[in-house]
């Protein structure tokens, strides 16, 4: 692994962690701005050091699609209540930013999950509730109908989404394939 690749991965992991904390703490304190600010920093780092803008934009867009597909179901059924929640029809800004940044990270610090779908499922099933409960402890969300009900729905979805993101991050467009062949 080249030193540039290591720097890219460490920077991406560090900035993804900063995105999570700024999003959660910002939401807990009724502030929207930290999340998109941290997402822009994460994306800028990834573009500068990762040099795969098209693939990163695709993964960030997939993350937004997931956010707008699954979060309204959890919100609308009362399973989860996020701070700064504008409507049951769509997720708060900070959640959308987290999905975009997390999905983009599958091209960088999370790329070790590519092709390891069972491991990715386990990572999702174990990591998601830890992240969720940590956000709750910091004051960014609640589980109005109880944690058991939320986790019964949440865990299988994350067990599917993480392997799906790992798989999707491995798909290359024809432009990306041509660029790889040229180098």
pLDDT digits 0-9 by tens, 96-127: 999 999 999 999 999 999 999 999 999 999 99
Band the pLDDT of 91: cuts 50, 70, 90.
very high
Give the pLDDT of residue 168.
97
Say yes or no to pLDDT of 12 above 80.
Answer: yes
Comparing CA positions, the residue from 109, 80, 97 lying closest to residue 13 is 109
Rounded (10°) angle between helices 53-76 and 93-104: 140
First-to-last alpha carbon distance for the chain, in angstroms, is 17
Q: Which DSSP category does 31 fall into?
A: -
Give the pLDDT of residue 31.
98
Give the pLDDT of residue 1.
66
Give the pLDDT of residue 175.
58
Question: Are 71 and 79 spatial neighbours (Cβ–Cβ below 8 Å)?
Answer: no
Band the pLDDT of 3: cuts 50, 70, 90.
confident
């Amino acid at each position: 692994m080249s030193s540039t690749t290591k720097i890219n991965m460490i920077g991406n992991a560090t900035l993804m962690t900063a995105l999570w904390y700024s999003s959660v703490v910002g939401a807990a304190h009724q502030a929207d701005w930290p999340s998109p600010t941290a997402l822009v920093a994460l994306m800028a780092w990834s573009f500068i050091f990762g040099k795969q803008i098209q693939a990163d934009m695709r993964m960030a867009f997939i993350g937004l699609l997931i956010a707008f597909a699954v979060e309204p179901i959890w919100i609308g059924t009362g399973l989860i209540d996020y701070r700064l929640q504008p409507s049951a029809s769509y997720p708060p800004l900070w959640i959308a930013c987290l999905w975009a940044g997390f999905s983009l990270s599958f091209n960088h610090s999370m790329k070790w999950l590519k092709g390891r779908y069972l491991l990715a499922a386990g990572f999702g099933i174990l990591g998601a509730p830890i992240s969720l409960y940590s956000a709750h402890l910091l004051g960014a969300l609640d589980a109005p109908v109880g944690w058991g009900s939320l986790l019964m729905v949440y865990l299988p979805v994350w067990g599917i989404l993480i392997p799906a993101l790992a798989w999707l991050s491995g798909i290359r467009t024809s432009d990306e394939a041509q660029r790889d062949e040229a180098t």
